């Protein structure tokens, strides 16, 4: 039981795919113009990641090693298509806004990476917890970034006005340059916080994961 | 005239890095030196042009007649993955020199979302065969331009005093943001002439 919980929080905090491993960046930058878009993108990724982890873990003993990558891709593509069609049916506005980035979940390195590293060699419950944890970590990162961009760029949060009367929204935060710059400073802030925490004598827990962006690339 | 608009749009206005956010993983990963960046750029141009052609044929001669459009994602990703593998084998046989230059970049391209992205965009924009290939090539050239410019900037970081917490990805993203602002200038430049 303890291992299940730690697997979940590993994905949310220590190995947060966006803020610590810095993989799968395209949707992170593209859909965070508003919090609601980031939220639905996160939900779609949680679904695809957890469902493909379950199926790949179930079939891990009968999958020939030589064809495992094409097999993973077909599984992920199937669940992505399901997510695409379900969103189109029940949330047509969101589906139109996210557009291209729903089918592009297929080539998101987080999902193929978890299939290869975790689901293909672990039991089903552990793979589920890993999928949920990684997906939640991804969603949280999207919501944090989208909050910064939506509040500064439109003065709203989840569509509700939150800034005082005289606030003049900085439209550049909604435009592409705002995405790059705010994610850059968010990662920088994460590095600073991690460095401060690990300098403290008691907070040495997260030292092993290294600072964001220096562990993995591409 | 339509082709000129597609070419200018693909390279400058809807640049895949600076305005569409496609292909960021290799953009951030393989941009440490101009040499590797240009190798990756060549491979991307080659694969994206070819993938645009092949996926257009698949869409219009297989998926549409059989009313299987909902299988688009599955079909396209499989086609692209096998296409990249096939191109790799052909280059290895035909031109070992070119394979030496591009070889290590080709497998990376399967997971480059720019390739699947251009295939899907060609369908949603409803391009004809030639327009689709032109769009694929132009978008890939725009991507290459972006990674070459970025690699040039990145090579100079060695001489700069960057705060410890901003080193690596944070400063890379901030620089990309500033370049993206510069590319906004092209939108105004070409507006009224072409669009």
Query: Do A45 and A138 form a contact (C-beta atoms < 8 A)?
Result: yes
How far is it, in rounded angstroms, from Cα A29 to Cα A182? 10
Q: Which residue of B has its CA nearest to A212?
A: B169
User: Which distant-in-sequence residues (6+ apart) come within 8 Å of B54 by Cβ?
Assistant: B79, B83
As separate numbers, helices (DSSP H) first and strands (DSSP E) second, chain A gives 8, 2
Tell me the two tokens of residue A22.
Answer: 């810095």
User: Which distant-in-sequence residues (6+ apart) come within 8 Å of A67 by Cβ?
Assistant: none
Query: Do A115 and A60 form a contact (C-beta atoms < 8 A)?
Result: no
> According to the model, what pLDDT value does residue A77 have?
94
Q: Measured between CB atoms, does B187 come within 8 Å of chain A?
A: no
Give tens-digit pLDDT for B57-98. 999 999 999 998 889 999 999 898 888 888 888 888 887 877
Would you list the domain boundaries of chain A? 2-197
Q: Which residues pair with A157 in a beta bridge?
A: A160
Asked if A104's CB is within 8 angstroms of B184's CB, the reply is no
Measured CA to CA in angstroms, residue A39 lies from A31, A75, A98, A100, A193 at distances of: 9, 24, 11, 16, 25
> According to the model, what pLDDT value does residue A200 have?
63
Give tens-digit pLDDT for A53-101. 999 999 999 988 888 888 999 999 999 999 999 999 999 999 999 988 9
- Whether A197 shows a pLDDT value over 70: the answer reads yes
B 157-186: CB under 8 A from A: 163-166, 168-174, 176-178, 180-181, 184
- Whether A216 shows a pLDDT value over 70: the answer reads no
Show residues of chain A in contact with B166, CB under 8 Å.
184, 188, 191
3-state SS class at A160: strand
Confidence label for B189 from pLDDT (cuts 50, 70 and 90)? confident
Tell me the two tokens of residue A12.
Answer: 């949310």
Phi, psi of A92 (to 5 degrees): -60, -35
Q: Which residue of B has its CA nearest to A191?
A: B165
Q: How deeply is B190 buried, as exposed, middle or buried, from its count of CB atoms within 10 A (0-12, 13-18, 19+)? A: middle
> According to the model, what pLDDT value does residue A202 have?
46
Q: Which residues pair with A156 in a beta bridge?
A: A161
Under 8 Å CB pairs connecting chains A and B tally to: 133
> According to the model, what pLDDT value does residue A204 have?
41
B 77-116: CB under 8 A from A: 77-78, 81, 108, 110-113, 116
Q: Give B13 to chain A, closest Cα distance, Å.
A: 12
Tell the residue number behind the tokens 């495992």, with chain if given.
Answer: A68
How far is it, in rounded angstroms, from Cα A207 to Cα B94? 49
Q: Give A99 to chain B, closest Cα distance, Å.
A: 10
pTM, rounded to two decimals: 0.87
Q: What is the mean pLDDT of residues A194-210?
A: 59
Query: How many alpha carbons lie under 13 Å from residue A26 in its C-beta half-sphere?
Result: 31
Query: Do A170 and A47 form a contact (C-beta atoms < 8 A)?
Result: no
Query: Do B186 and B18 form a contact (C-beta atoms < 8 A)?
Result: no
Q: Measured between CB atoms, does B72 come within 8 Å of chain A?
A: yes
Q: Measured between CB atoms, does B188 come within 8 Å of chain A?
A: no
Tell me the two tokens of residue A141.
Answer: 């990162």
How far is it, in rounded angstroms, from Cα B139 to Cα B141? 5
Phi, psi of B72 (to 5 degrees): -50, -50
Q: What's the ipTM?
A: 0.87
């Amino acid at each position: 039981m303890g291992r299940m919980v730690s697997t979940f929080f590993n994905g949310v905090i220590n190995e947060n795919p966006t803020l610590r491993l810095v993989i799968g960046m395209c949707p992170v930058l593209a859909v965070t113009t508003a919090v609601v878009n980031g939220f639905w993108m996160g939900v779609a990724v949680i679904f695809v990641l957890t469902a493909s982890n379950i199926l790949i873990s179930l079939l891990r003993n009968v999958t020939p090693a030589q064809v495992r990558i094409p097999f993973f891709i077909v599984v992920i593509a199937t669940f992505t298509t399901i997510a695409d069609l379900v969103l189109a049916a029940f949330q047509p506005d969101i589906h139109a806004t996210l557009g291209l980035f729903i089918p592009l979940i297929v080539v998101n390195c987080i999902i193929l990476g978890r299939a290869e590293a975790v689901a293909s060699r672990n039991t089903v419950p552990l793979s589920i917890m890993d999928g949920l944890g990684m997906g939640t970590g991804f969603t949280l990162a999207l919501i944090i970034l989208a909050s910064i961009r939506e509040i500064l760029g439109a003065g709203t949060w989840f569509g509700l006005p939150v800034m005082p009367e005289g606030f003049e929204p900085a439209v550049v935060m909604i435009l592409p340059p705002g995405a790059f710059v705010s994610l850059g400073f968010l990662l920088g802030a994460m590095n600073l916080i991690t460095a401060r925490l690990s300098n403290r004598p008691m907070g040495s827990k997260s030292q092993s994961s290294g600072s964001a962006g220096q562990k993995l690339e591409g | 005239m339509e082709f000129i608009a597609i070419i200018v749009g693909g390279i400058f206005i809807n640049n895949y890095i600076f305005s569409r956010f496609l292909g960021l993983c290799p953009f951030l990963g393989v941009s440490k030196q101009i040499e590797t960046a240009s190798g990756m750029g060549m491979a991307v141009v080659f694969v994206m042009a070819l993938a645009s052609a092949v996926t257009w044929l698949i869409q219009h001669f297989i998926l549409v007649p059989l009313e299987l459009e909902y299988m688009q994602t599955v079909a396209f990703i499989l086609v692209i993955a096998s296409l990249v593998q096939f191109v790799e084998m052909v280059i290895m046989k035909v031109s070992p020199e070119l394979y030496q230059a591009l070889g290590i970049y080709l497998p990376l391209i399967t997971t480059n979302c720019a390739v699947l992205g251009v295939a899907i965009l060609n369908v949603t924009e409803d391009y004809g065969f030639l327009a689709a290939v032109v769009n694929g090539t132009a978008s890939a050239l725009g991507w290459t331009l972006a990674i070459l410019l970025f690699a040039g900037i990145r090579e100079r970081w060695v001489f700069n005093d960057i705060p410890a917490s901003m080193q690596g990805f944070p400063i890379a993203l901030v620089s990309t943001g500033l370049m993206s602002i510069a590319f906004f200038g092209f939108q105004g430049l070409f507006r009224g002439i072409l669009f």
